[in-house]
Amino acid sequence: MIAASSVDLTPDRTLPLVGYAATLRESDGVRSRLESNVILFETNTARVALLGIDALFIGSSFIDAVRGDLIDPTVELLFVATHTHYAPSLDQSKPRLGETDNDWFYKAAKIVAAQINALLGERGIDARASYGSLPCNLSVYRRRRIPTPKSRFPFLQGKILLVPNRSRKNPNELQLFQLQTMEGVPLAVIWSWPCHPVEASNRNSINAAFPGAVKAAIRAATGLEQLPVIFLPGFCGDIRPAITQSVARTAFIEMFKAPSKGDIEAFEKGVCASALKVLASASPVDLAESFQFQRLEMPLSELLEDSTSTLPIASLSCGPFSVTALGAEVCSPYLDQLGFNASKPTFFTGCAAPTFGYLPTDAQIAEGGYEAERFKEFFGVTGSWKPKVTARVVSEMRAVTRAPTSISSRRHKPVEDLLLPGLVEVDG
């Protein structure tokens, strides 16, 4: 059984925005509204809330503030940020990416807690489901080795920069899962497309970016203005919109450009068209009688020297449907490591709460670049990467997804018990 709702989280005053380390920003208007969308899944014994919030990240202190106001403190909470770069901070742990307005921070927490409490007081509805997927070729891999000047012979060196790389195939499947009443009335939508929501001509305007545009398009198509729509940003750590240019001043090397309003309109229109096509062509999915939920906390010391933090990994599933969420900006090659198949309603996403930073693969760590090293100073991450990061993370993900227990939380076991054998711009 499920219950779902959507509430407005758009600030009514000027606030600092987060998402870019290069400059501190304050909002000067609203392009599209920010929201909290929640689906409450329940069985006879337990409940779990999947929350999609228009924010860069969700911090642990925000989760604590929400949980402290809940009428049922035992409900499981799985927060996922849409990763928009044009919203106020809901994560106090990353001041280099922007300031947190504490008054708004706690006000937003109370709004979300009240939203969850309202759902906890409702009687859930039996649901049926449908699923579909379709390639959406509007994104591009953003890591490319470019010759850069060097003071000594041979005076050039290859360096991984945030530059479009069309020679590298990136995952581009747009997935959509719809929950409906048994009579076919839409109850909620979960969708995913791995791409950074960073298309804006005015970075100081509050903006849900393309996830907000798709949300509006789905609501218009269904005729339901308050339909809960949750966006999962996927493993988008190294992917962004393919809004680019090649000009003489960059030696005609393709670069990302500051998008015009026309660029943004065309991009968002294209993503919306793909989402609506999937919505219209989705096929029925047989759901199991109950949902399952598992969570573990992987010590980051298994991945990074001297780290005292953790990497949360959670899995919500029901029959063939599943959402596996990590507290990191996960880079796209992890999908291949997991044998991802978009024909199945299996979602993998990063930006679950709390998010520690980027999660590159071993190959990307060896290459260097922002996602492997440079991000650390802006996210407050220290320490060098350890060997076999990819295998360790994949093993932990398989451990959490294969657990058969019905909705319940479990704490992390020692990692050695979970590992399988053998196995130019700075933004947030």
pLDDT of residue 151: 66
Tell me if 151 sits within 8 A of 96, measured CB to CB: no
Percent with pLDDT over 70 in the chain: 92
Tell me if 353 sits within 8 A of 62, measured CB to CB: yes
**Cα–Cα distance between 393 and 21 in angstroms, integer?**
27
Number of folded domains that form the chain:
1
Q: At 349, which helix (H) or strand (E)?
A: strand 346-349
**Cα–Cα distance between 92 and 57 in angstroms, integer?**
10
The chain-wide mean pLDDT, for the chain, equals 92
Alpha helices in 174-302 (DSSP H): 209-222, 261-281
Q: How confident is the model over 35-93, as pLDDT tens digits?
A: 999 999 987 678 999 999 999 999 999 999 999 999 999 999 999 999 999 999 999 99
Tell me if 385 sits within 8 A of 372, measured CB to CB: yes
Between the alpha carbon of residue 213 and those of residues 56, 267, 288, the distances in Å are: 17, 10, 32
pLDDT of residue 426: 63
**Cα–Cα distance between 309 and 210 in angstroms, integer?**
31
Is residue 421 predicted with pLDDT exceeding 60?
no
Cα angle vertex 236, ends 230, 241, to 5°? 95
Q: How confident is the model over 249-280, as pLDDT tens digits?
A: 666 789 999 999 999 999 999 999 999 999 99
Percent with pLDDT over 90 in the chain: 84
**Residue position matching structure tokens 């978009």:** 342
**Cα–Cα distance between 239 and 140 in angstroms, integer?**
6
Question: For 225-229, 336-340, 409-413, which range has the lowest pLDDT when averaged over its residues?
Answer: 409-413
Domain that holds residue 357: 1-428
Is residue 422 predicted with pLDDT exceeding 90?
no
Q: How confident is the model over 347-380, as pLDDT tens digits?
A: 999 999 999 999 999 999 999 999 999 999 999 9
What tokens appear for 69 in the block?
A: 């106001």
One DSSP character per residue, 287-337 reads: --SS-EEEEEEEEGGGTBTT---EEEEEEEEETTEEEEEESSEE-TTHHHH
Q: How confident is the model over 2-37, as pLDDT tens digits?
A: 999 999 999 999 999 999 987 789 999 999 999 999
Q: Taking the model in full, what pTM does it have?
A: 0.92
Is residue 410 predicted with pLDDT exceeding 50?
no
